Structure 1
Amino acid sequence: MAANVALLSASSPSTSAAVASSFLSRRPLPRCCAASPRRASSRLSIMAALGDDPIKEWILTEGKATQIKGTRSIGGGCINAAQRYDTDAVPFFVKTNSRIGPEMFEGEALGLKAMYDTKSIRVPLPYKVGSLPTGGSFIIMEFIEFGRSRGDQSALGRKLAEMHKSAKSDKGYGFHVDNTIGSTPQINTWTADWIEFYSKHRLGYQLELASRRYGDSAIYEKGQRLIKNIRPLFDGAVLEPCLLHGDLWSGNISSDTKGDPVILDPACYCK
């Protein structure tokens, strides 16, 4: 996928290729700048300097800010670093990773946008994914001020149900791209049958990873027996693929200052 992508709708099955190949457009120079060679030269010098920092470049062009007032670390867990960028427009939330390329954040951005497009539960809107000049990658997204608690859990349940009902898949089970759960790859190849998808791309894939890393053949063999006998467990179940957050645990749940539930850091797929 392209390193710098414009985030379009991810709710359509055909969007991953469009998102991966669409670059954010640059705003033209104001007429006053174009009219003055000296001012134009000055602005071009500033933009050349910003080219070394793609995060600031986006915020001061596409982000509609004219000034970055300050940045501060707000913690990013054990995988990524996270900062708040305060500007004269709005604050932005930025995550960076110095070791992993943009593919991880591209998958996250597509998942966030897919959930955002359901207009059900609140999620931070992603704006920009790209590569860092020094290596690694970044994602810029909406900054949501969190409340003092995770909010009303019954409201969370209702909003999640709304999201599931709003985003049904006509391609089966999977997602537009492979993504990650934490830093572990997650395979999302579209599959018509739920049992097959879950057996191969969830249980089976995790068993293979565990076997390669730890060499525990006993766990692997038990897991394979479960896979072979899993279909009867779903007899009579009505299975319909719909959009899931994919990594929903207490650390990825919060609420905004109004008390409305917020979910973040997804590993989306249709289940």
Structure 2
Amino acid sequence: MVAAHVALLCFSSCISFLSPPPHRLRFSFTRPKSFTVASMSEDPIREWILSEGKATQITGIRSIGGGCINRASRYDTDAGSFFVKTNRSVGPSMFEGEALGLGAMYETGSIRVPKPFKVGPLPTGGSYIIMEYIEFGASRGDQSALGRKLAEMHKAGKSGKGFGFDVDNTIGSTPQINTWTSDWIEFYGVHRLGYQLKLARQQYGDSLIYEKGQRLVKNMAPLFDGVVIEPCLLHGDLWSGNISSDKNGEPVILDPACYYGHSEAEFGMSWCAGFGGSFYNAYFEVMPKQPGFDQRMDLYMLYHYLNHYNLFGSGYRSSAMSIIDDYLRII
């Protein structure tokens, strides 16, 4: 588990947030076509902050860490502080997916997330995202409040299009395919487990895990007998590094890989999220537990173990294979 935690540090940009800028700032994320990518300029981040950001001066810029994917900075201004992530090698599409996810979660009015403001290309290559800066508290906050707020987001964030999302995004640095699909079992089998299994075969020539995994995909439908599945807005990558609290102790979640899916899929990273009994008790008060929940948990963890295998190597293969073999013995 120590090795797993170290590897997982690459998933996020070690983010801190300060107080939000004035409420007059607006950005709409209702549809991808409403997304305006910033024009190229010498410094598009500074240009946006001093125009649409309503600041007249930037009083300081500080690096606040980062990870193996993005760099993070705090911009202090006379209109408040902003949080900026940059990536010097990837175009705006990755941050567009993140911003759309943050915007969708923000619009539910449930759990707190940093409000996104702008995504654009950097003139020297790469891209950036500007968002609200939230001041973190001293701890990850109250587990029961996190469970309740997360359930409220799942309950409020619904889709009439089925399972998927308006854009493909990333889980870590792995592409996450979000093609709209009417059937959850098909969506999860093809665009989640199936995609990761194909990557494992392509990257490592791992035909064994591919073939066994495909057997599981083709025979997993009985695990969902008696379950009512509605498309719920999911954070999609909810591990401990993406969970915090603001200065008032309210839970905050960040760095999403959003899509609309079965609510239980949100717990696929529970092996590295630290959820306790109070979290689940509060969650199920709002979103009642469905039959077979415990039996499906490993199925949802399998997606993330496969992704870690594809991102970080063979250290995660045995966990993924063990889950597959256990299911193949019972289905």
- Normalising by the smaller structure, the TM-score range is 0.7 to 0.9
Report SS of the residue matched to 1:130. Answer: strand
The amino acid across from 1:230 in the alignment is M
Alignment of 1:38-49 (within 5 A): none
**Shift of residue 76 of structure 1?**
2.0
- CA shift digits 1:193-245 (9 cap, x unpaired): 00000000000001111111111111111101100111111111111111000
Q: Match for residue 29 of structure 2?
A: 9
Alignment of 1:17-32 (within 5 A): 17-19=33-35, 22=36
Alignment of 1:219-258 (within 5 A): 219-258=209-248
> Separation in 2 of the partners of 1:17 and 1:182?
24
Alignment of 1:95-244 (within 5 A): 95-244=85-234
**Change beyond 3 A, Cα 1:220–1:24:** closer
Report SS of the residue matched to 1:177. Answer: coil
**Structure 1 contact 171–190 (Cα < 8 Å) conserved:** yes
Q: Match for residue 80 of structure 1?
A: 70
TM-score, scaled to structure 2: 0.69
The amino acid across from 2:98 in the alignment is E
> Separation in 2 of the partners of 1:244 and 1:146?
22
> Separation in 1 of the partners of 2:192 and 2:74?
34
- CA shift digits 1:23-73 (9 cap, x unpaired): 679xxxxxxxxxxxxxxxxxxxxxxxx930000000000100011111111
Q: Match for residue 67 of structure 1?
A: 57
- CA shift digits 1:139-162 (9 cap, x unpaired): 000000101110001100100010
The amino acid across from 2:205 in the alignment is G
| Structure with the higher fraction of residues in helix conformation | 2
> Separation in 2 of the partners of 1:103 and 1:210?
24
Report SS of the residue matched to 1:139. Answer: strand
Report SS of the residue matched to 1:74. Answer: strand
State how many pairs are aligned: 236
Structure 1: state its 5+ residue gaps: 1-5, 26-49
**Structure 1 contact 7–109 (Cα < 8 Å) conserved:** no
- CA shift digits 1:74-124 (9 cap, x unpaired): 112221000000111110000000000000000000000000000000000
- CA shift digits 1:241-265 (9 cap, x unpaired): 1100000000000000000000000
Report SS of the residue matched to 1:133. Answer: coil
> Separation in 1 of the partners of 2:128 and 2:92?
7
> Separation in 2 of the partners of 1:109 and 1:209?
26
Are 2:75 and 1:94 aligned?
no
The amino acid across from 1:18 in the alignment is S
**Structure 2 contact 38–119 (Cα < 8 Å) conserved:** no
**Structure 1 contact 7–110 (Cα < 8 Å) conserved:** no
> Separation in 1 of the partners of 2:84 and 2:199?
30
The amino acid across from 1:133 in the alignment is P
Q: Match for residue 38 of structure 1?
A: none
**Shift of residue 167 of structure 1?**
1.1
The amino acid across from 1:16 in the alignment is P
Identity score, percent: 75
> Separation in 2 of the partners of 1:71 and 1:147?
21
Larger Rg: 1
**Structure 1 contact 199–227 (Cα < 8 Å) conserved:** yes
> Separation in 1 of the partners of 2:192 and 2:88?
28
